[in-house]
Structure 1
């Protein structure tokens, strides 16, 4: 299995490198290739990329202005937008972030705060955020990736149990890319409301879309914070954003 997954990654990297070579005169294409390759290279080393992914889909104007010289340009965007699936299958990472965003998150939370990440997956955020407890029950194994490889120590707890255990000891609770199946996210929010949690519940997800349950979005009081979204912008067809939730 490991060899097969590595081959998928190698194939994708090779595709992007070939696209870059084929469109050296088109700076926007080269820039997007470089962002993708830099991101993959960083995650291979369990580091966060220092660059932000911008929208990977090529603009209509760029395509049609260059279609005669580059008829194959129509096929580029779909290949670029395979990035998230490649990251899921190879690294077990659904939420792709960068160091600039982590810096913003750290500034928002504060250097002296204590944080809890629930449903942390491979705990990429926790590994890069000071004083953060990472928790996950790892029930996502087998969902495109069956090789958990946490970047830091991970306490095996489901989200509700983790919140019940730690909510009174932390200033911030972080929930990134909760699944859209089940209503665990709503159970977490309901518990925090019942117990008058005074800290921040920071949620990264697509409202009424690919992440979180319908009941969660229907009941959540949402606030977008500019500081947490300036280096966290959608790069593919999923419009995930960073929310404060009450």
Structure 2
């Protein structure tokens, strides 16, 4: 994975097609922002070629480049894995979404729990929200998550963090693990200590994040504000990443 960008650039030059070039340039731009510790200004455009797009490009570049095109498309589809291995992040926050969270949900203070490298905390802080970022990092001792945070992270389990910072307007959890019951315990702690604030989870329903039990609950809130926030997020790959809000009463 350390040679990910080099391989990508080499394949793009070999294929020499504008649709491919645009995507490789998008990845290079994202990587430069992440490397600098800055949130993106907007959500990335979709990466990877869908089957019909792949065939269209292949017709234009010729069958002799099919192998290179498949290799490149595989790299495009694994960009999130690259981000997790190199930077310890699974989610790409952006300033537009952070600003909408602030404005639409009237957030002045926030707590990010299970924050990992606290990339979301950095984005929220940049739009003027006072942020506390916490993580016990127990589940990530063998990974790069938390090794180089984007924002100062306090060593504190989620339930204790929610209790300690019980006056915030927002509790945010991005990419809660899809094993264990940390998400259920988070909802219970929030319901006990700060049930009037917004509780947001960033993840994929019935997929890459959160426990199956979490998704089977009838506690998800729908609102025009949340729709607008999600419209600004728009996942860049096959993972349908969204922002989910828990009802204040359920």
Using the size of structure 2 for normalisation, the TM-score is 0.85
Structure 1 pair 66–81 and aligned structure 2 pair: CA distance change class (3 A): closer
One of 112, 117, 129 as aligned partner of 1:122: 117
What displacement does 1:174 show?
A: 0.4
What displacement does 1:186 show?
A: 0.4
Using the alignment, how far apart are the partners of 2:86 and 2:79 within structure 1? 11
The alignment status of 1:13 with 2:2, answered yes or no, reads no
The alignment status of 1:41 with 2:32, answered yes or no, reads yes
What displacement does 1:175 show?
A: 0.6
What displacement does 1:38 show?
A: 0.5
What displacement does 1:230 show?
A: 1.7
Using the alignment, how far apart are the partners of 1:236 and 1:97 within structure 2? 14
Number of residue pairs matched by the alignment: 235
Structure 1 pair 66–99 and aligned structure 2 pair: CA distance change class (3 A): same
What corresponds to 1:3 in structure 2?
none
Deviations 1:70-105 (A, max 9, x none): 423233221112211111111111112233322323
Using the alignment, how far apart are the partners of 1:216 and 1:172 within structure 2? 19
SS in structure 2 of the partner of residue 30 of structure 1: helix
The alignment status of 1:203 with 2:201, answered yes or no, reads yes
The alignment status of 1:94 with 2:93, answered yes or no, reads no
SS in structure 1 of the partner of residue 159 of structure 2: helix
Gapped runs of 5+ residues in structure 2? none
What corresponds to 2:237 in structure 1?
236
SS in structure 1 of the partner of residue 74 of structure 2: helix
Structure 1 pair 223–19 and aligned structure 2 pair: CA distance change class (3 A): farther
What corresponds to 1:31 in structure 2?
22
Deviations 1:15-66 (A, max 9, x none): 2212332343x32222111111111111111112335322222022222223
What displacement does 1:165 show?
A: 1.6
Structure 1 pair 132–146 and aligned structure 2 pair: CA distance change class (3 A): closer
Moved over 6 A (4+): none
What corresponds to 1:184 in structure 2?
182
The alignment status of 1:64 with 2:62, answered yes or no, reads no
Using the alignment, how far apart are the partners of 1:77 and 1:144 within structure 2? 26
What corresponds to 1:80 in structure 2?
76
Q: RMSD of the TM alignment (CA)? A: 2.0
Using the alignment, how far apart are the partners of 1:223 and 1:27 within structure 2? 41
Contact 1:160-1:184 at 8 Å conserved across structures: no
